[in-house]
Amino acid sequence: MAPPEVTSVFGPTSESSASRLGIVAACCALTSLLIGVVVMLGWALGETALTQFFTSRSAMQPATAASAILLGASILSASARRAGLAAVIALLAAFIAAQSLAEHLLGLDFGTDLLLFPHAVGAQPVNYTFPGRMAEPTATSFLLVAVAVLLASGRGRRASLMLTGCATAVLILVTIALLSHLYAVAPLAGILSFTQVAVPTAMALGASAIGTLALRPSAGWLGLLVGSSVAATAARWLVPTVAVVPAGVGWLASRGSDVGLYPVDFRLALTTALTVILLVALAL
């Protein structure tokens, strides 16, 4: 007898797929939690490598690490079917992100930026406008993930679509942030300050977003990837390829211009052409 199916926004999801997604949610939650713990340990020990994850760019701030720990714990609680506890922890993470976002948007200072490890945060080698404060994209992303976790216990198509939308938006922001680091984009200010989203922050947010999607197998497109259908098998092969190929081509094109093989202005044309050629080749 075939396993029972759960009705999904994007089609039916089998019970075995739901079980696999439960494991995905727990693993992603632990990833976010552990990243936060490692970064906190780095601040406590004064080890910059642990706060930047061995990069020479921006560090994950203590408040951000605390939010990653909270979201990881919240998703882990939700995956264990402790919805009440998950909601309380998610609200704490949402509060931290919301007050940071309010500081940026309203020009306020609540005095929380240097609440944790004030001396170490104030003495960072990177010149931050507001040391210890989340960047706007970071605060927005944490707020969206927290909202998505709260929606995970909701019912109905609207809650499912909103959860999927929030988590997917975070994954888009995370992708832009990671690509900004990969291509060594110069720091930007304001709402476009993706380069100020530290590598460990982006990793924790990505894990949290995927973990939130996995909380409800009926909520979105992640259920398709863990299914046993032909479409799911094809998607598991295509999605990583489509994600990695353009990023790799862009990186190679960037390195080529850096060593003087061609002008910087030629990179966009070269990247687009090579990406189209490779994706068409994969499709055939």
234 within some domain = no
The mean pLDDT value for 235-255 works out to 80
Q: Distance (Å, rounded) from C-alpha 180 to C-alpha 23? A: 30
1 within some domain = no
Q: What pLDDT does residue 265 have? A: 77
Domain range spanning residue 207?
7-228
- HSE value, Cβ hemisphere, 13 Å, CA-based, for 207: 26
Rounded to the nearest integer, the mean pLDDT of the chain is: 82
Same domain, 121 and 206: yes
Same domain, 180 and 254: no
Interval 87-123: pLDDT, tens: 999 999 999 999 999 988 888 888 888 888 888 887 7
Same domain, 159 and 103: yes
Q: What pLDDT does residue 204 have? A: 95
Residue 87: how many other CB atoms lie within 10 Å: 18
What are the beta bridge partners of residue 14? 5
Query: By the 8 A CB rule, do 174 and 202 touch?
Result: yes
Q: Distance (Å, rounded) from C-alpha 84 to C-alpha 78? A: 8
- Number of domains present in the structure of the chain: 2
Q: What percent of the chain has pLDDT over 90?
A: 30
Q: How far is CA 141 from CA 57, 260, 263, in A?
A: 20, 37, 35
Q: Distance (Å, rounded) from C-alpha 216 to C-alpha 9? A: 11
